[in-house]
Structure 1
Amino acid sequence: MIEAVGLTKRYGDKTAVYNLSFQVRPGAVTGFLGPNGSGKSTTMRMILGLDNPTAGHVTICGHPYDKLPNAPRQVGALLDAKAVHGGRSARNHLLSLAQLSGIPARRVDEVLGVVGLHEVAGRRSKGFSLGMGQRLGIAAALLGDPQVLLFDEPVNGLDPEGILWVRNLMKALAAEGRTVFVSSHLMSEMALTADHLIVIGRGQLMADMSVRDFISHNSADFARVRTPDSEPQQREKLSAAITEAGGHVLPEQDGALRVTGLPLPRISDLAHDHDVRLWELSPHQASLEEAYMRMTQGAVDYRSTVDQKEGLQQQLPPGAQPPMPVPGQGQPGWYAPPPPQQGGQPFAPPQAAPTGPYGAPPAPAAAPAANPYAQPPQAPQSAPQSVPSAEPTKSEDAR
């Protein structure tokens, strides 16, 4: 198990991570998400003892990394797949790592087979593609058969077959009772791979919950309703009935209706009572990507500006076009962590009023069971006055 308590990391007057606490438990794939510059790589480096925290501490199986006996045989990590001597073959690279850690040489050929590089084991790594380099990095992480594994963007450069292989590998490792901590920007892949999520923004914890709970807490579910396209009067009749019953209706671009505030059975009954034929009545739940974008919208530091293509397009006069709304802004559950200020409190998201399916008030329910991943409240800590997100940037992968 990995446990971080009050982790803070400053580089001069820049704070990359601030008062971060979480646990990564064995037996599950835990996804580590956050925008660029949010402190993910810095956090992983502190877990592995490559960076010393300014405050707080992090342990693996109850010990700091540098206190673990024969740490490479207990912890495996892939942080930078290009951290390989280009003149060495894949086998020699792994063999040197094995000799340093007292791992039998036969293990080298075993992991080369696991990652699918056994046929190119004698080739120098400088001739490897990006995907082959990723496979070699994963082989190095698996070399000591560790119980704790950390992967930073493990599917970077892999083809669809390779991505599926990594997904199945992560799940298999977790099923064996290992601790698997995976950082990635591919939301679609995280939705298929991860069981639990830890999300940070500007170096602070934003979410620590299961994937299902994360999507539920950061999305607005709705019902999609569609009537015959050739009979617009039926759509208008149903829309009026839904509004009168207390629902909210928004038109979709394809002629369907987006309905919130009423459950599906109630919408079906209204259509039947008003003799309206339905072509579609389906629930919609946000994807992990939609939920992630909604939560982290205010924590993104790098945004594109409109390309006016000077000399080719004329800039619109002020007020000619209304500004684009920020998705989810102003709705219950929308928030983003502000930069920590001097003497301020650690970030804590506001509690939104609960809602049931499709915006309807929830029915009374029994108190939920305690969340095993819930974190104890942390004592306030002072932080620097200006805290733009900053973490060491990794050099671009060669293509």
Structure 2
Amino acid sequence: MTRRLVITGLGATTPIGGDVPTLWQNALVGTPGASTLENDWVERFSLPVSFAATVEVEPADVLARPETKRMDRSTQFGMVASREAWKDAGLDEADVDPDRLAVAYGTGVGGVWTLLDSWDTLKEKGPRRVMPMTVPMLMPNGSAGALSMEFGARAAARTAVSACASGTEALDIAIRQLTAGEADVVIAGGAEAAIHPVCLAAFSSMQALSRRNDDPAAASRPYDVDRDGFVMGEGAGTLIVETEEHAAARGAKIYAVLAGSGVTSDAHHITAPDPEASGAARALRRALDSADASVDEVTHINAHATSTPVGDRPEYAALRSTFGDHVDDLAVSATKSQTGHLLGAAGAVESVLTVLALHERRAPVTINLDNQDPDMPLDVVTGEPRALPPGDQVALCNSFGFGGHNAVVAFRNA
């Protein structure tokens, strides 16, 4: 990379915190975000899974009512997280050239609530009652468009739709825009609001979700021999990415350096990861190569680690083939054990946590790992946060999505 890129602002709304400080503190102590759903549709549709990880703070408690009526729930999450990140970066008081400001925002599903609610309205009340704003609210690029208008970003407003790799791939887009000289600042991240009866029923039919209805808090169990599926989550994460020159010129604080990224495709199966993990391994190596980093420089990984029986193993295989024996020295955090799986927002929120791990020199904990699978002998951080060593180092955030999408981002300490 010819231009050094830095992270200057962070924002998030998640099941374990409605802002970044709360998210971080809860991630350090190991706070379960999953709970039994109280929606009447759970019983009405006899859903086999009756729990999920819903956001701690409802967007309606933060946004003005006219805003919530014009935005799908997923876009509402993105707006909450991005306003926090914008303010955190000090950009609310800075003079940013709109033609040099871009948005790169991801989602896996988009406005599913708007789409299906509108379908119900059409069936029950007819076409004249369908909202005029339905299409812009259900579009997967709705968040990117809304954020571009909110912050006046005219360089570009791009959307990554790569299933569970979307939020991470948005950071790859940001890197490409900034290194190409097309922008000085990018608002990057991802949002998802897919805790809907159709989504829960569909993922349940695939046998992808945990069935621990009696103990939701302990349902997400990455690397545990008793893992039985992921926990659906929701929320958003936003990172402000700037060229170092732009950040220095305005005296911005710097959390970390966005050093590189790697994006590949399995071309194997529409849902199942490649058991050989060759695509994931190539993404890891590309991220390291673009960051000009050696495997020995990496000290921490925020793993994709969804807690599915078939998903965790290929990621371990990719890590082992990439890092060799050094994989035993990596402090691995599987934070979906706390937040649940935020789908298209997962990589963005987990990148926020990875940046903070470098900045604070502490790796957050993995919960519910009572009996680690002996076939995946990683050094998983449990119990208490792990102190990261002093000096220069690299941390990675992994995301792998349906469709065979692999995305990895590499951060250096600032």
Taking structure 2 as the reference length, the TM-score comes to 0.27
Bigger Rg over Cα: 1
Where is the helix percentage greater, Structure 1 or Structure 2? 2
Higher relative contact order (CA 8 A, sep 6+): 2
